[in-house]
Amino acid sequence: MQSSIRFNYIENKEFIHLVLSNLPNYSTFCVLHSNEINSPLLHDEYDFIFGLGSQKQFQSNNPINWDFFNTLEQQNCFLMGFISYAYNKDFWKISEKKSTIAPPANSFWFAPQYLIYKRKEEKEFVIYGENPSEFYHSILQSQIAPLESSPEFKHEFLPLLSKEKYIHTIEKIREDIKNGEYYEINYCQEFISNKFNSDPFLIWEKIRNSNKAPFSAFFRHHSFFSISLSPERFLKRKANILLSQPIKGTAMRGGTELEDEKNKSNLQNSEKERAENIMIVDLVRNDLSRVCEVGTVSVEELCGIYSFKNVHQMISTISGKQLEKTKLGEILKNTFPMGSMTGAPKRMVVERASEYEVSARGLYSGSIGYLESNGNFDLNVVIRTLIIDTEKKIASFHVGGAITYDSDPFAEYEECMLKGKFWLDLFKNN
């Protein structure tokens, strides 16, 4: 029989470290971590949630079966999992390109054997599962092999798209926009590494403290791993309120306080970045209006600047009061995929991006998160994410950007390389 037990967080930080060290013992797990980034405007409920082991699994490969998510709502238990970008494949009539690393399913969710979580502002964390006290003591007594102090991650990641092809495609996109086909499109490219043999657990351990992100996630199902340093929320539901926080606009942190403030100010005052952000805000408002009461969809914050360890981000917050008795499947059908990773108008740009991109996005541009037994949920945007298949010994990551008619193809390419720099440097400098 499942039950819960509470422990003081400050007095048990070593236990939390041991839990993370024990992750290799579980063939299925999900770690969601806000990395102690505290801002009331981010609307976070939890500091962290760890789901270890799987007592029940639910998966769907039918990309137009939105009733699948209604089934999840009826389980009356805490679930963790993901929705891959491919879940829109038939609904949006996109191309049949294959993912370099296919996720276990188009959407995969599991009920953890053990759930460990800490809510914001609370001093205690909770362990939930069968015999939680016994689990607590077993973790404390576990023997953990010491991690390598400086593990080597030397791998070459190569783009599937040449610089020349990328720039040529951007020119075609600008021509589409000039002809009035759409206003803005998120265009992505993929970098891959073959013969990849680095340990995902060592990678996670190395980067999780040095690159803190509020919606980070570490997911595993057998040989499939996702290491995500996401700064972005796709969609959250608390009671009857839906909330989305799209990001459009990024600037690097400066080397000095003066340079940092300059970068932040340039981002805040960038007409291009603000125009892209506002365009996506309008799209999200339109999406939410289909599942929210008339007159309740509002912009809580427009083009707010948030500073994280490595970047400044331009984030807007849109919320609305959900229509009564609206089911999860209906909500996702009308909001997924997220506007920040598509463009506007959504149907046209999703279909056109799939024609122009050379590989399918897979889990990238999808979402990882949780669904509570009371119907509340929180879903991130899968960006800044490394995907690994340890059986096939291959790893990949995607980068992308919003393209408008004013976009400079060469500048867009450099921005992509900047976004990929973290992963490229991680596997180059060791």
**Which amino acids are annotated catalytic?**
232, 248
- 387 exposure class (CB count in 10 Å sphere: 0-12, 13-18, 19+): buried
Q: Which of 370, 6, 365, 3 is nearest to 189 (CA)?
A: 365
Structure tokens at 192: 């891959």
- DSSP symbols for 66-97: THHHHHHHTT-S-EEEEE-GGGGTTTTT---P
Task: Give the Cα-Cα-Cα angle 261, 262, 267 (nearest 5 degrees).
Answer: 100
> How far apart are alpha carbons 362 and 414 in whole angstroms?
24
Handedness of CA 334, 339, 344, 347 (dihedral sign): negative
Backbone angles phi, psi at 379, to 5 degrees: -130, 130
3-state secondary structure of 364: coil
Question: 């500048």: which residue's tokens?
Answer: 411
Residue 397 near residue 385, CB atoms below 8 Å: yes
Burial class (CB within 10 angstroms; exposed 0-12, middle 13-18, buried 19+) of 219:
buried
CB-neighbour burial class of residue 40 (10 A; exposed 0-12, middle 13-18, buried 19+): exposed
Pairing assessment for the beta strands 241-245 and 233-238 based on DSSP bridges: antiparallel
The number of angstroms, rounded, from the C-alpha of 225 to the middle of its chain's C-alpha atoms is: 13
Pull the structure tokens for residue 252: 């690097």
